[in-house]
Amino acid sequence: MADIARLAGVSTSTVSRALSGSKLVNDETKTRIAELAKSLNYSINIGAQNLRLKQSRTIAVVIPSDSATRQHLTDPFFLGMLGSLADALTERGFDMLVSRVDAEQLDSVSQIYDTGRASGIILIGQWRHHDQLNELALRQVPLVVWGAQLPKQLYVTVGSDNINGGKLATRHLLDQGRRAIAFFGDIQLPEVSQRYQGYCAALSEAGLPAREELVIAASFVEDGGKLAVTELCARQVTFDALFACSDLLAMTAINSLRERGLSVPDDVAVVGYDDIELARYFHPPLTTIRQPMPVAGLALVDALLQQIEARVSQALLLETELIIRRSSQ
Amino acid sequence: MADIARLAGVSTSTVSRALSGSKLVNDETKTRIAELAKSLNYSINIGAQNLRLKQSRTIAVVIPSDSATRQHLTDPFFLGMLGSLADALTERGFDMLVSRVDAEQLDSVSQIYDTGRASGIILIGQWRHHDQLNELALRQVPLVVWGAQLPKQLYVTVGSDNINGGKLATRHLLDQGRRAIAFFGDIQLPEVSQRYQGYCAALSEAGLPAREELVIAASFVEDGGKLAVTELCARQVTFDALFACSDLLAMTAINSLRERGLSVPDDVAVVGYDDIELARYFHPPLTTIRQPMPVAGLALVDALLQQIEARVSQALLLETELIIRRSSQ
């Protein structure tokens, strides 16, 4: 207010009176002071607005990080997704702002948008953040999430058909004559839970029950497969097949089975999930459920751009596909 | 000027006179108008400055893209580097802005810095851009490049010891009794050229010449290894070993050798370069030269932060290491 007073050549109390609409200040001065106040704000806004325009060619890709596990960005699925998004954004003329946000403070994601650093947000890693993501959607932050469609969902998801993926994997193992099929995955995660639904449905089609003792809550960490095999063997339950909810889980499990003298696929037939680049080069080459990675990047980007431009976009479910290789037959 | 006049409550000609220092305007008004003019600019600058500060927690990672080859971001080495950088930047409290820039217009990189979108730039993919990178360094853009140290270099590089890497690979193949060692790589690229120097040095130590007919200018594209094997076989030269300048080249070459009925390592011993994640899972597991990826991300980030803070940083050479697996023995 002191600045405005000095610049307008009046006293601070005049500015104060003028801004509060007092009749003690004449109209010419009142208008001048109002304009001056507005103008000073306005010029700051121009700055922000210009910067926002310049930066509108930026989309943020957020990968929540769990401070407990300190998961590093070495998981080939996440890296493949990053590459796919970078290619898709380049093709559409955008830069990619990669930000890892503490999973416990997911609402801080909106700052990236509010400050004009990005025109919208693609979030990879739905995990258990359903409620927080709904809040972000309510705040009208342009947002697309890679993950599963859930009941009472206010945000837009692009994901692959996890239920069918689980069905395809399990049916294939049943077709190979396997009957005791272990399941590796943490069913508290939405995508894994849907894969488990598919697994149960396929077993049910074959007249088999889903047996609790064959389900291991394996997590997507580097030695997840090894830990899961250890737990399964400790339960002393017989099994002749394994459906793992990521290729990395499947691969580390296979290496662990081999160390225990079990042969893949003869003793245990294995199906993974994702079809990461190295699945085909693995020994033995890995049977898996393919998530359509190159398509996924473009689908996420286009869903977000549609939302930014038209303020509307729909959830999208991409097809999953069974890729049969040596590890299961 | 009209705006300043209106806001100061004087005529435009008074503003004009005041700003040009005319004695016809009294000092009080002159000061007021100068301040007002400055203030309007100033507030815009505050906007930009605030945004720059807010954004100073962002580092740009630029991967030049060659419009001719339209190389996609699926190369596991680039993806591994992106992951390593994302982890390192997160650890240091920064976001990562990924930008692919046309390799022919590399000087446009400086815009990312000039507009305050990032505090500095890490460039992956030195390729043939030596002169352009020198120009960027002259323009005082905080910049660190992943690549080889070259003569007359004004920019800062962080890279691994390519000459020693080439030596280690070639010596190892010589130790296995191999004498006709093919070299796959485009020696016009600085890093590959240094690996080739190491290859020649190791051959020379063993009293062997570097034979031109064994060198194939293979490029880092998806089927590079296959094309290189085809060309080598077309030359009808005998060879019992192969040193490929990337793991992907080595892997696609091995698959191609296998299709031609040649066994690895019995007929052809193979050494790759990089030690990407899938090298150990490959069939046969791949002998390779490890570039220290987790260290590389932190080294690049810290070299750049040092440059931003202290306006000085030194080139850094990371050690390379021979990792012996089945493909070479």
Query: For a pLDDT cut of 90, what percent of chain A falls above it?
Result: 47
In this structure, which amino acid lies at residue A74? T
B55-160+293-319 fold: Rossmann fold (3.40.50)
Cα–Cα distance between A101 and B96 in angstroms, integer?
12
Region A162-292+323-328: CATH code:
3.40.50.2300
Looking at domain B162-291+323-328, which of 1.20.1740.10, 3.40.50.720, 3.40.50.2300, 3.30.70.890 is its CATH number?
3.40.50.2300
Cα–Cα distance between B43 and A123 in angstroms, integer?
35
Angstroms from A208 CA to nearest CA on chain B: 34
Asked whether B174 and B210 are in contact (CB, 8 A), the reply is no
User: Measured between CB atoms, which of A32, A96, A251 is closest to B6?
Assistant: A32
Angstroms from A5 CA to nearest CA on chain B: 10
Q: Does position B245 have pLDDT exceeding 90, yes or no?
A: yes
- Show residues of chain A in contact with B76, CB under 8 Å: 76, 79, 277-278
Peptide bond into A151 cis (omega under 30): no
Q: Across all residues in chain B, what is the average pLDDT?
A: 87
Cα–Cα distance between B326 and B281 in angstroms, integer?
11
pLDDT of residue A208: 97
> For residue B150, how many other CB atoms are within 10 A of its CB?
17
Segments in chain A below pLDDT 50: 42-55
- Where along chain B do its domains lie? 2-52, 55-160+293-319, 162-291+323-328
Angstroms from B151 CA to nearest CA on chain A: 32
**Which tokens belong to B11?**
């005529």
Cα–Cα distance between A165 and A245 in angstroms, integer?
10
pLDDT of residue A205: 97
Q: From B56, which residue of chain A is nearest by alpha-carbon distance?
A: A117
DSSP 8-state class, residue A208:
-
pLDDT digit string, tens, across residues B274-302: 998 888 878 889 999 999 888 999 999 99
Q: Find how far residue B53's CA is from the centre of its chain.
A: 26
Portion 33-52 of A in contact with B at CB < 8 A: 35-36, 39-40, 43-48, 51
pLDDT of residue B136: 87
Portion 266-325 of B in contact with A at CB < 8 A: 277-278, 281-285
Region A57-160+293-319: CATH code:
3.40.50.2300
Q: Does position B127 have pLDDT exceeding 80, yes or no?
A: no
The dihedral formed by the CA atoms of B129, B135, B137 and B140, expressed in degrees to the nearest 10: -150
Length of chain B: 329
pLDDT digit string, tens, across residues A41-84: 534 443 444 444 444 689 999 988 776 555 566 678 888 899 89
Domain pair B2-52 / B55-160+293-319, same fold = no
Beta carbons of A83 and B72 less than 8 Å apart = yes
- Split at pLDDT 50, 70, 90, the class of B50 is very low
Q: Which range scores top for mean pLDDT: B26-30, B240-244, B278-282?
A: B240-244
Asked whether B137 and B110 are in contact (CB, 8 A), the reply is no
Q: Does position B101 have pLDDT exceeding 70, yes or no?
A: yes
B2-52 fold: 434 Repressor (Amino-terminal Domain) (1.10.260)
Q: How big is the A-B interface in CB pairs under 8 Å?
A: 159
ipTM greater than 0.85, yes or no?
no
pLDDT of residue B300: 96
Burial class (CB in 10 A: 0-12, 13-18, 19+), B76: buried
Angstroms from A73 CA to nearest CA on chain B: 5
- Split at pLDDT 50, 70, 90, the class of B69 is low
Q: Looking at per-residue confidence, does B326 or B73 come out higher?
A: B326
CATH class of A2-54: mainly alpha
Mean pLDDT of B265-274: 97
pLDDT of residue A55: 47
